[in-house]
Structure 1
Amino acid sequence: MHAFRYRKGRLVCEGVDLESLARRYGTPLYVYSHATLAGHCRRLMEVLRPLDPLLCYAMKANSNRAILSSLARLGGYLEQQR
């Protein structure tokens, strides 16, 4: 379901130790998984496909450019801030 796992008692995301990221970049630290995001988007689109939905994401909910770019590539529509 998602790319966050415990390995030998340590939380990792897509194979990267999150404690090492916290030491390097400080806290609080937001960590996102492209694999998790893509997987959830694909599942949602697959389930809703018979309804022919327009899946939208409000950019004001999270303005992280990498995430927005990923969502757009996955076929989502980005609602722009006004």
Structure 2
Amino acid sequence: MSAAAPPAYCGHCGGDGPTSDAHQSCRQQLALEPPRFCPQCRRRMKVQVTPLLWTAECSRHGLLGPAVGTRPGAVSTHTAPG
């Protein structure tokens, strides 16, 4: 099995290269709030936030949970695409 590829796009702003220094503020924001853009395809996601967790759904890649960008103690809702 191969390791998962790093995200191609920033989950906060949708820009290229989320690991670059230009996205330092985006990484800080993602520590506090869920991603708004799919890190795999850059599509805008449908995001639902509750007091205990969040979910983000991409129309192509399905549900994403706090494993992508998280608040400490949040519950993962990630499901594999079917």
Fold agreement, TM-score > 0.5: no
Q: TM-score, normalised by structure 1?
A: 0.29
Structure with greater proportional helix content: 1
Task: Tell me which structure has the larger Cα radius of gyration.
Answer: 1
More strand by share: 1
Superposition TM-score, scaled by structure 2 size? 0.29
